[in-house]
A and B are shown apart, each in its own frame.
Chain A
Amino acid sequence: MASRSTGGSTIVGKEHARSVARELQLERSASRPVLFHGPTMLPLLRDGDGLEIVPVRAEEIQLGDIVVYREQDKYPTRRVVGFNPARTEFFIQADYTPARLFCIPATALLGRVEARLRDGKRLHRTSVRWRWAAWSASYRKNFLKIFRRYTRGR
């Protein structure tokens, strides 16, 4: 649909306005959840899940939180596994592929995933199930090592 204006153009161009509007859309996700796509946050998040995302300051983010950040015109969603003392950089990884570690600047952070909506049910990040997923995602690698060592020894 073509844009409509009562006069000339604004300083903020259409494309810039669109990217800002997308971020506003993210901020409004509590009333209109955004969709999650992809397998990389399995098993907690899967294709088609609705997410509620709340803007947060870098100081409020804790280890294990799932955050959404800006990467060009995409909005990757991954788990925080570390940060520097000044919290200017965050280390994140996907639950399903924990071998890859990403480092993102705090300025790219857009918000924290507060809840997942699936089949009409809402799972909040403070729930036991969510916390278990966060915990197991962080320690899965070590679990696997211990498990393999244990099974090899038997």
Chain B
Amino acid sequence: MNLQYSIDQNNSAWRIVDGEAVLINAETTFYYGLNSTATRIWMLLLEEDLTGAEISGRIAPDFNKTSAEISQSVDALLQELAQEKLLTGKELSNPPVLAEDILNGRPSGPISASAWDTPRITRYDTLESLVVCGE
């Protein structure tokens, strides 16, 4: 199954704080934190709808990894974001054909590579109804 993910703009709102995204789901009122790697993935999805393979292919070189090495954790994050209804997945009838170098990653060398940190989402509590006051 090849899913193309997009951010559910109606359901989610976000802000980047210290390089990490804080998200809310307006429907469930849960709020979340993404670590820096997951935030990177979120930012890519802000630009355009992407599949897990496309995301892995794009970010792997920045961490001096191959797409295959990180695809499992990227997919796991995407599934979790979709479960939390922050992303929507659309099945593609014609999956995009990725170039060999994208599929394998393009290691850019250790000098510019960032340390790989498994992308993760932390789900915090629900937010109670917001009350503003004149007091």
**Residues on A facing B (Cβ under 8 Å):** 1, 3-12, 14, 16-18, 20-29, 31-32, 34-41, 45, 51, 53, 68, 74-78, 94-96
Contacts and interface: CB of A to CB of B under 8 A. Distances in A.
A11 B18 contact: yes
A36 B33 contact: no
Nearest to B27: A32
Given A3-B122, A24-B15, A31-B26, A39 B80 contact: no
24 contacts: A1-B125, A3-B125, A5-B121, A5-B122, A6-B118, A6-B121, A8-B35, A8-B120, A11-B18, A11-B35, A20-B17, A21-B23, A21-B124, A25-B26, A25-B127, A26-B132, A31-B26, A32-B26, A37-B131, A45-B134, A68-B132, A76-B134, A95-B134, A96-B134
B90 interface: no
Specify the main secondary structure of chain B where it touches its partner: strand
Nearest to A34: B130
Interface of B: 10, 13-15, 17-20, 22-24, 26, 29, 31-36, 76-77, 80, 118, 120-127, 129-135
Given A5-B123, A20-B17, A24-B31, 15 more contacts: A3-B122, A6-B118, A7-B35, A10-B20, A14-B33, A18-B31, A21-B24, A25-B24, A25-B29, A26-B130, A31-B10, A45-B134, A76-B134, A77-B132, A78-B134
Contacts, number: 134
A18 B24 contact: no
A17 B122 CA distance: 10
Nearest to A29: B130
Contacts of A12: 17-18, 20, 22, 33
Nearest to B124: A3
Given A4-B122, A12-B17, A17-B124, A35 B131 contact: yes
B22 A75 contact: no
B37 to A, nearest CB: 10
